[in-house]
Chain A
């Protein structure tokens, strides 16, 4: 008699208990979730790049503040505003690579290798290609070069193209054959290391058997970009909005 009475009670109790356990589990789950390491790494990458951007912005705000204070001090004096504008134009011309520049730096000479080929070896191994020149130039930018030219042609990363063209290389739409002479203005020691240091592309090329030589120079000149920069598709966003 006693057993017969208790079984429905136990059934109900068990169902309630089950529901409670499930609810408890659900409530706890939000607290102790686990995430894949990959996601953590992605977050870290984003964080790093945002941090770097904030640093840059702080520098810009500092610069703008200085500039504003300077111009504000002029008190609407036309002569001084003209002077400051001319200064800014000269700076922009220098940065955009339209002027001849001078300074200290390095001269890099790159020529096809002269060693004997090994049996069945691809001759391409000891021939200089466009990608080699591009990567060496990128190494130099990375080492903080201010201005770079290849065989006298100013290289501007946002305009110039370096192309393999059979036996010659095309730089800024002008043809050059070897030897390739790259001039870079910047910190001489850094630039030299950017070619010679182990792991750098210049050093790797040398190991392939391509002739790479670096000389530092206390003074040299690099010509400005020769071509005319004319924009057909580009519109100023600020002006576009104003119209």
Chain B
């Protein structure tokens, strides 16, 4: 091998070395930040999401239309008949208790989010895997006299479950990802005081590094329970 060849070889090896180190560096940064992927898939997903949202809009409009038709029939009937009018009022009352009515009132909004990833901590804190904390928040709010509750706009009704399922928490069997926004209607000062109590639920959550914010609002709007609830096993006991 001539001296000239060796110099060439040295040059090629150096270039190769630089390539390798750059490649390693790129892969390393991708790995620590969760990896990169072409945005083609994301575009596809966002199109799908848009379609779903449009479908949801149409369906919601259908529901509203049928509701309007139904109440129009009942309205005309109730103008002639007092019994129907009273029954409708009673139905409204029980619908409210059951959570089948959109409601508003003063109350608080609590939002709970995962802490940003921190290199100083090896373990991951994720509210998804600590659903008991959400149960405690709901319990605390119930104890403080909350009159209506919702997590991420899923109305809490008598049989609602809060459960980790995969990478999300199922609420009314709808998967919900963090952040969790809990809305509660009731005396806003009582509710706020109950969750912000010393060593209370907010400080427990903050101790675990979750990002929690509590806001007192004069008007909180909570949507109705948006599904059909069928109780197949529990039959009403005949009172007579």
Contacts and interface: CB of A to CB of B under 8 A. Distances in A.
A235 B103 contact: yes
Contacts, number: 273
A96 B94 contact: yes
Interface stretch (A5-13, A14-22, A48-56): A48-56
Interface in B221-236: 221, 226-229, 231-236
Contacts of A57: 56, 59-60, 63, 226
- Interface size class on chain B is 35 or more
Interface in A1-52: 32-52
A67 B70 contact: yes
Nearest to B171: A49
A79 B186 CA distance: 39
B77 A76 contact: yes
Given A57-B63, A233-B106, A237-B104, A96 B98 contact: yes
B135 A138 contact: yes
B14 to A, nearest CB: 25
Interface residues of chain A: helix, strand, loop or mixed (majority):
helix
Contacts of B41: 40
Nearest to A59: B228
Interface residues of chain B: helix, strand, loop or mixed (majority):
mixed
B232 A146 contact: yes
Contact of A104 (B42, B135, B138, B233): B233
B33 A36 contact: yes
A94 B91 contact: no
Nearest to B100: A92
- Interface size class on chain A is 35 or more
A85 interface: yes
A86 B91 CA distance: 8
Given A49-B176, A131-B136, A146-B159, A36 B107 contact: no
A231 to B, nearest CB: 5
B91 A88 contact: yes
A100 interface: yes
B39 interface: yes
A56 B169 CA distance: 17
Interface stretch (A107-115, A117-125, A160-168, A208-216): A160-168
Interface in B30-44: 33-39, 41-42
Contacts of B106: 233
Interface string B204-216: 0000000000000
Given A43-B46, A71-B73, A240-B104, 7 more contacts: A34-B38, A35-B36, A134-B139, A157-B159, A158-B148, A162-B139, A234-B147
